[in-house]
Amino acid sequence: MTYNFDEITQRRGSNSYKWDSAKEEDVLPMWVADMDFRTAPAIIEALHRRAEHGIFGYTKVPPAYFDAVTGWFSRRHNFTINKEWILFTSGVVPALSAVIKALTVPGDKVLVQTPVYNCFFSSIRNDACEMVANELIYREGTYSIDFDDLEQKASDPKVKLMLLCNPHNPVGRVWKRDELERIGEICLRHQVIVVSDEIHCDLVYEGHTHIPFASISEEFLMNSVTCAAPSKTFNLAGIQVANIIAADEEIRRKIDKALNVNEVCEINCFAVEALIAAYTEGDDWLEELKVYLFTNYTILSKFFQEHLPHLPVLPLEATYLVWVDCKALNLTSEEIAAELLSSQKLWVNEGTMYGAAGEGFIRINIATQRENLIRGLEKIRSTFSL
């Protein structure tokens, strides 16, 4: 491989939210969704060049930025985006909050498919809306959509939006075309706008294909908003950059106003350079990263099968976040995570962070060096082996 993902860079002491949040220094963090790998060299070089300029004033976003976004989604995801559809902001969570603010009024309802990314809940709550859960069906070690329940809940006239996690965090599903089509048809019937969080769209593994919701049809395009960013793909969360894609002019106007009201309508000079470098020069690095990540998943899956067979590991179709069924332990998710932290100094996410439907599960971040991964697996075995 060209890139050395086994190389360990000391993150503790760098004001890392992931590594410096624990009270004790010897905690191994396999929780929050950022990676322990240095980003692509082309991005580092672009940031060096910008830093060497030495002046960091107000930043105008250039045409090259929009070219990079449209080129990436056309090349990687067969999604043709007009530059006029793009609104930039500081992150996908601020984007979601602005979209909800723009397209609802207090008291409206927003559909989500639980268990799901926890910031969906806070974004809905912060905009004074009510969360409605279309709980995913967990059966035979995988998740599917309860379309009858989705239809029923979408039919409520107070439901204005559906937040779609595509690919899904934390369960690792890549939604298939027929699943997305059924979601889209239900939402069109009931005049529910689909807000598709596609932040993990680039981290999809062999045998699966990410389909941007808005790319399926003109009707879906005009009844949806897509939120995306290079942050998960290239480990750039701290750079703070994301894009909102809204083809409908009136929807886009409302979102633009909400971004300005929320004061998240600007991005910094480093964000501009990082995104351009990532989306124009990052393909080779990403392909090697995906191989490394999926090998990590394979190692974890085999380890559980051999040493922890009572804890099923769900298939990982996308993301670097592994969802593990721990119901056999007869402990709550919170108790499982607390025990690993207190006895083994291993930090994972309890499933209930992602809603009540996550009870009995934990989420493990495998985007780390193999040495750390194996160390974390041994800690789990020491605690929960039969």
**What confidence tens digit (pLDDT) does each residue in 46-55 have?**
999 999 999 9
Nearest to 79 by CA among 188, 207, 224: 224
> Cα 347 to the chain's mean position, in Å?
19
Distance CA 58, CA 268 (A): 7
Longest dimension (CA), the chain: 59
SS3 377: helix
Q: What does the block give as tokens for 258?
A: 């909400």
Q: Cis peptide before 309, with omega less than 30 degrees from 0?
A: no
Contacts of 87 (CB under 8 A, 6+ apart): 243, 244, 245, 246, 252, 255, 256, 259
Give the residues of the chain that fall short of pLDDT 70.
none
List, in sequence order, every residue forming a beta bridge with 202; answer none if it has no partner: none
Burial (CB count <10 Å: 0-12, 13-18, 19+), residue 299: middle
Q: What does the block give as tokens for 366?
A: 């495998």
Q: Give the other-Cβ count within 10 Å of 82's Cβ.
A: 10
φ, ψ at 196 (rounded to 5°):
-100, 110
What letter does residue 310 receive in the DSSP assignment?
T
List, in sequence order, every residue forming a beta bridge with 195; answer none if it has no partner: 163, 225
SS3 325: strand
* Inter-CA distances, 381 with 108, 344, 347, 363, 384, Å: 45, 10, 14, 16, 5
Contacts of 312 (CB under 8 A, 6+ apart): 141, 304, 324, 325
What is the predicted pLDDT for the residue at 386? Answer: 83
What is the predicted pLDDT for the residue at 1? Answer: 81
Distance CA 251, CA 273 (A): 28
Which residues in 324-359 are b (16+ Cβ under 10 Å) and which e? bbbeebeeebeebbeebbeebebbbbbbbbbbebbb
| Contact indicator for 235, 43 with CB cutoff of 8 Å | no
Q: What does the block give as tokens for 262?
A: 């929320």
Beta strands in the chain, from DSSP E residues, in sequence order: 28-29, 86-89, 109-112, 130-133, 137-139, 142-144, 159-165, 193-197, 224-228, 242-245, 321-325, 346-347, 349-350, 361-365
